[in-house]
Structure 1
Amino acid sequence: MTVALIDYGSGNLRSAAKAFERAIREAGSAETVAVTADPEVVRRAARVVLPGVGAFADCKRGLAALPGMLDALTEAVIEDGRPFLGICVGMQLMAEVGREYEVSDGLGWLPGEVVALTPADAALKIPHMGWNELVVAAPDHPVLAGIEAGAHAYFVHSYAMRCADPAHVLASVEYGGLVAAVVGRDNLVGTQFHPEKSQRTGLRLITNFLAWKP
């Protein structure tokens, strides 16, 4: 079975691929990682991962520039229900709209918008960068199994998802107010932090995702 890691020019693909390969190896799984820009690989994949680094609108344009990719994503993830993981901007693209520099449509998979971080404490720097503790709201979610409140993850972002339905926020981080750190519904999950850079916490989340059967 293949884990499709989508290459649309907006992700830290080498680090992400290595993290997934390590999790597969340590779990003794037969899955393989395919870093791909081919929509047919995405259509056939058992699991789909969308990374993302950069501005929301640029990432959406990069994804849309791959012929057939948006349709393949819809078919694999929404119609066929394959497990999906969005990372950083890849998570933000799940929203209906992004407001980073310009207003841009997202994939529309989760009701909500992506807005600038506005911490209540003016001394907190933007971008939010570094290690912070997770506040886990859904400890029973299979992708968060074994990740306890207080586990640390690595963040680098200036914008965050504001979910219309609070039930879609599976974990948060405190940064001058609670900010969505993990979101999801059904077969969809996304992390604002970078699991590939989050050491033990990130490896556990990736391992959980690889075993997840929504």
Structure 2
Amino acid sequence: MVGIVDYNAGNIKSVERALGFLKADYVLSKNPADLEKCDRLIFPGVGEAKYAMEQLKLTGFDTFLRDWAQAGKPLVGICLGSQIIFEHSEEGDVDCLGLLKGTIRHFESVWKDSEIASNLKVPHMGWNNLEYVNGSTPLFDGVDPKSDFYFVHSYLIQPSDSSIVKAYADYGCKVPACVSSGSITAFQFHPEKSGRAGLRILENYIKSTD
């Protein structure tokens, strides 16, 4: 059973549609107690990091997600959910869940520090392909490496340990598009909005035995 975390900041409907298409058994809830017996979680998200953290604290999902990760249970973060699993975000200057070590920074901040003169528009919005690195992840099994995925974001993951990055996209700099460490995997792009390739990723996750 897949649990979907609903904390008033999630991209819920498209995730539900994707899981429905895959005929997956899932539970959507704003109450952590309803998800305790699930085998794996999907932690989606759109919007602003500070607001999302406020909602997680109000619902009790902050503690629930930390306990879930500490227990080594499977967790997939999507978009904002892929970011606030890290320690701190420049967006709202807010401390986040700290499930993985690293920070979330604005594109222009990263470009400036890297002395990149980019005229690309922010947010990074639209379709982009990936470069698999560091052994990739089993969740990409059966996914054509030439596939495009749908991105919408102004901030990007900067993990402390670059070896947890399993795929990069290119948008003025290397953008960590997928990170994976232990039982946690996170996608900066939206697999639920990325057509057949994205559905295959979700199917791999649903059927995985880890």
Cα deviation 1:29-68 (Å, max 9, x = unaligned): xx511111111122211111111100111111111110x3
Once the 2 structures are TM-superposed, how far is the Cα of residue 159 of structure 1 from its aligned partner?
0.2
For residues 131-210 of structure 1, the aligned pairs below 5 Å read 131-210=127-206
- CA gap of 1:189–1:84, structure 2 versus 1, over 3 A, is same
> Is the 2:123–2:152 Cα contact (8 Å) retained in structure 1?
yes
Q: Is 1:111 the equivalent of 2:101?
A: yes
Q: Provide the rounded CA distance (Å) in 2 between the counterparts of 1:53 and 1:114.
A: 14
Structure 1 counterpart of 2:75: 84
Letter in 1 for 2:102: G
Once the 2 structures are TM-superposed, how far is the Cα of residue 77 of structure 1 from its aligned partner?
2.9
Q: Provide the rounded CA distance (Å) in 2 between the counterparts of 1:62 and 1:44.
A: 22
Once the 2 structures are TM-superposed, how far is the Cα of residue 21 of structure 1 from its aligned partner?
2.0
> Is the 1:138–1:144 Cα contact (8 Å) retained in structure 2?
no
Q: Provide the rounded CA distance (Å) in 2 between the counterparts of 1:213 and 1:63.
A: 28
Q: Percent of aligned positions with the same letter in both sequences? A: 33
Letter in 2 for 1:111: K
3-state SS of 2:101 partner: strand
- Aligned pairs, how many? 204
Once the 2 structures are TM-superposed, how far is the Cα of residue 7 of structure 1 from its aligned partner?
0.8
> Is the 2:5–2:44 Cα contact (8 Å) retained in structure 1?
yes
Deviates more, 1:48-57 or 1:148-157: 148-157
- CA gap of 1:57–1:87, structure 2 versus 1, over 3 A, is same
Letter in 2 for 1:18: R
Letter in 2 for 1:55: E
Once the 2 structures are TM-superposed, how far is the Cα of residue 150 of structure 1 from its aligned partner?
2.5
What's the TM-score, normalizing by structure 1? 0.90
Letter in 2 for 1:56: A
Cα deviation 1:57-108 (Å, max 9, x = unaligned): 1111111110x322222233322x22100000001011111111x2111111
Instruction: Pick one of 30, 37, 42 that aligns with 1:37.
Output: 30
- CA gap of 1:22–1:36, structure 2 versus 1, over 3 A, is same
> Is the 1:98–1:113 Cα contact (8 Å) retained in structure 2?
yes
Q: Provide the rounded CA distance (Å) in 2 between the counterparts of 1:181 and 1:140.
A: 11
> Is the 1:139–1:145 Cα contact (8 Å) retained in structure 2?
no
What's the TM-score, normalizing by structure 2? 0.92
Q: Provide the rounded CA distance (Å) in 1 between the counterparts of 2:209 and 2:117.
A: 40
Q: Provide the rounded CA distance (Å) in 1 between the counterparts of 2:82 and 2:159.
A: 12
> Is the 2:150–2:194 Cα contact (8 Å) retained in structure 1?
yes
Root mean square deviation of aligned Cα = 1.5
3-state SS of 1:122 partner: coil
Once the 2 structures are TM-superposed, how far is the Cα of residue 138 of structure 1 from its aligned partner?
4.2
> Is the 2:3–2:41 Cα contact (8 Å) retained in structure 1?
yes
Once the 2 structures are TM-superposed, how far is the Cα of residue 121 of structure 1 from its aligned partner?
4.8
